[in-house]
Amino acid sequence: MLQVVTADEIRELDRRANEDYGMPSATLMENAGWAVYKVIRRVLGGSVRGKKIAVFCGTGNNGGDGFVVARLLKIQGANVFPFLVGDPTKIKGDAKVYYDLLTKMMPLPAFQEENHGESGLFQVIVDALLGTGISGAPRPEYAEAIRWINLCAAEKNCKIISVDIPSGMDATTGEVPGGKSEGAVRADHTVTFAFPKWGLYLPPGDEYVGELHLADIGMDWNLLSTSPKAVLSEAQTFDFLQKRRQESNKGDYGHVYIIGGSAGMSGAPAMAARAAQRSGAGLVTVLAPACVQLLIGAKLDEQMTIALPDEDGAVSEASFDKIVEATQRATVLCLGPGMTTKPGVVALVQRIIVEIDKPLILDADALNALAQNPEIALRRKENPLVPLILTPHPGEAARLLGTDTVTIQSNRRQSVLQLAQKYRAIVVLKGRFTLIADPEGNLRINPTGNPGMATGGSGDTLTGILGGLFAQYEV
């Protein structure tokens, strides 16, 4: 399990590695430099010899990593242009050791913006200006260097490689205090050390990271063995997908019931149903208002449909008893796709949440119905085998917490944890990096996703996938 850390946690881990485990901090810095060097070499096609590379170094430990990188590049035959940003008298500790070592090999001039004329020389720029210790906007000399690096990348098409985090970004929150336009380095690659930092996965910082490389620098991974916050990996996902028995049938893989649809929104439950079936559910049934049941059925081949009493183009509150009867053998219920928020629908959803003792996955309008009366979630029987699963996008999350989307997006980590605790539910907060939390404070990051998913029906498809996976593994 790949744990994620805040700036304070990584600072404490550095201290423990040095003081409690006897790992020399200078060794960690040397290892960090080697890790960055290897990424540079890969970006440049396997060799740095003769390549023109700029290394921008600050006066802290991030700059110390940069001093190591510049020295290694020099040794390996690169044409290195190191620049120092900040007062050299402020360089202390291990960084000072590597600063002295580098300056014995080559000059380390202070960065001046007039060096812009040399930008065409560089095939790679290494950003080792500011690390995880930054708080607030970068000081003017750093802001100037950040602006220049970004300008060089835009005009000259050189690759930017950031050390640990892109300079100017908050390692914990992902915020860019200096302003989104020029407040942080826009990296093509970020080489982060030991553990990924939260800010790399949170907006707006996630847009500055580029390709993320996690480097092992010799820190003991067991230092965070009790952390409940981690990044999901592809290997973990495949471990979850159990191999099926040869002697099995559809009854072994659960029955998903999807309740949704309304006049003009028949596609949403149909997409959810197909996704549930393709995800491996044994059986899938859509319960939809009678006015659209045949239309939904015409879209589906493998899935069944049941007509519910309707009113004004949407499911009627009077359909509750039929839903109870129809779902007696359901493994999981998915509510919300295309339902609308008409008063009768809202009342029905709220009653289902409280009175039907089945695993529930809520999306779309079912979430909006819950937001109108949050207390009903706590009236469900508390049973970990019969969970409530919420799948909000940021707008729905804002309604569930009684706030606005900007607040949700500026603090996604705390927002998803608050939702899980408030509703005593598993929460899937959708986004570029989807966050998944439970009421016990466990938190996972899904590091996949792409802008191609920003289209109508993605949420309905996710609802079906979750239902299909839940059904076959909970039978």
- Residue-level pLDDT at 223: 65
How far is 259 from 333, CA to CA, in rounded Å? 7
Q: Which helix (H) or strand (E) holds 365?
A: helix 365-371
Give the three-class secondary structure for 23.
coil
**pLDDT < 50 positions in the chain:** 475
Dihedral of CA 166/170/174/178: which sign? negative
- Ramachandran angles phi, psi of 451, nearest 5°: -65, -20
Q: What is the pLDDT of residues 144-185, one digit of tens each?
A: 999 999 998 887 789 999 999 999 999 999 999 988 777 999
**HEC string of 9-77?**
HHHHHHHHHHHCCCCCHHHHHHHHHHHHHHHHHHHCCCCCCCCEEEEEECCCHHHHHHHHHHHHHHHCC
pLDDT attached to residue 307: 98
Tokens coding 315? 């499911």
- Percent of the chain residues past pLDDT 70, beyond the cut: 96
Q: Which residues pair with 255 in a beta bridge?
A: 283
* Cβ proximity of 28 and 17 under 8 Å: yes
Q: Do domains 9-225 and 236-474 have the same CATH topology?
A: no
The Cα 59–Cα 193 span in angstroms is: 19
Tokens standing for residue 209? 């990271």
Give the containing element (helix H, strand E) for 125.
strand 124-128
Alpha carbon 70 to its chain's center: 32
Residue 224: the pLDDT is: 63
Among 3.40.50.10260, 1.10.540.10, 3.30.70.2740, 1.10.3720.10, name the CATH number for the domain at 9-225.
3.40.50.10260
Evaluate whether the domain defined by 236-474 bears CATH number 3.40.1190.20.
yes
For the chain, the domains span 9-225, 236-474
pLDDT score of 3: 86
Give the type of residue at 143.
Answer: A
pLDDT digits (tens, 9 = 90+) for 65-117: 999 999 999 999 999 999 999 999 999 999 999 999 999 999 999 987 655 55
Instruction: Give pLDDT, residue 21.
Output: 80
